[in-house]
Amino acid sequence: MRVFFIGFGQAGGKIVDMFVEQDKRMQTQSFRGIAVNTARTDLMGLKNIELKDRLLIGQTVVKGHGVGTDNVTGARVTADEIDAIINAVDSRGTHDIDAFVIVAGLGGGTGSGGSPVLARHLKRIYREPVYAIGILPAPEEGRLYSYNAARSLSTLVNEADNTFIFDNSAWKNEGESVKDAYNRLNDEIVRRFGVLFRAGEVGRAGVGEMVVDSSEVINTLRGGGISTVGYAISEKISPRTKQNQGLLSGLVRKKEKTEEVLTGEDKSAKIIALVRRAMLGRLTLPCDYSTAERGLVLLAGPPDEMDRKGVEKSKSWVEENIAGVEVRGGDYPVQSDYVAAVVVLATIGNAPRITELLEIAKSTKEDVLKSKEKRSNMFDDGIEPLFE
């Protein structure tokens, strides 16, 4: 799957920078990306996105200093300079792209305000689906950030074809520094979506037996709304000892075949357990998984470990546990010492964290209106001003 990433704002830019770095390291050329920001310093801090692919917008309004957590200004600046952003996307080439993915932190100003505007224009111009990865701020980060996130998300779900949510509050660890925490969270995002968006590509390990290509991913996400992703990784697979070639090589191969028959059920059980762990463990957005309309199961790892019965049974298990009946799945062979399972739960019907976020936003809006009334009444006591 070939994906065009657009990192919007500080958080989005850093994450897309990590996607580009991962793509360079794996030499797959599946991902390309640009970073868009109103703050010059945020763009200068990126390491892997080329300078020509870093776009500074809103210079006439904020002079390269960011919008100061004001997502209304972020939306207005993006709308004013949308032509420049679309030109930057076109200049990188879009003829072979399967999907656009906008990555943004929803609690700030630039990404929070600009990503829904960009999603609307990309959908109007291109035929490819436009997805978003939105990062929710933790409640402890402040009510302003929650309010921004609620406004941005309620707009974004109507503009993007599907919105993946990553909830910071579900992933925080005690005692971490701010830098370490954000680096770890960004790494979790890149690891999960890196496996998902590479589905179907032909690597050095060959083609999967049950291929999950880009159309499978697109059809899973076609219902819109919000989606969540589960991920689990196996223990390290012990490498088989290389057998010496000789008179006993035939007997060794026969013994290996017998062992494979005996361990076949064990391999399928391991895959089913891995998929269960991915779905029942920490999702990017904790939710009631039984309300998901569609699902996708993807297993990545060494071809010898991809047990067909295990993949099929794990798909059936996911189908039994979600609201819908559409569950796609397959394998993606890679040269690795581990097996990874990715489970996408698309179009979620019930997520307590989203409900909580919207409640915080409503109470924040009411408090803001009350504080405005108090401020306006403070000096309304009949004293004449010096001048009008």
Annotated binding site for GTP: 10-14, 109-111, 141, 168, 186
Strand runs labelled E in 144-289: 162-167, 226-233
Q: Kindly report the CA angle at 98 between 222 and 334, in degrees rounded to 5?
A: 100
Q: Is 126 helix (H, G, I), strand (E, B) or coil?
A: coil
Q: Which residues pair with 35 in a beta bridge?
A: 7, 54
- Annotated binding-site residues read 10-14, 109-111, 141, 168, 186
Q: Which amino acid is at 27?
A: Q
* Continuous segment of H or E residues that includes residue 314: helix 308-321
Structure tokens at 261: 């028959």
Closest CA to 97 of 106, 88, 89: 89
Q: Is 259 helix (H, G, I), strand (E, B) or coil?
A: helix
Q: Which residues pair with 317 in a beta bridge?
A: none
In a 10 Å sphere around its CB, with 0-12 CB exposed, 13-18 middle and 19+ buried, how is residue 227 labelled?
A: buried
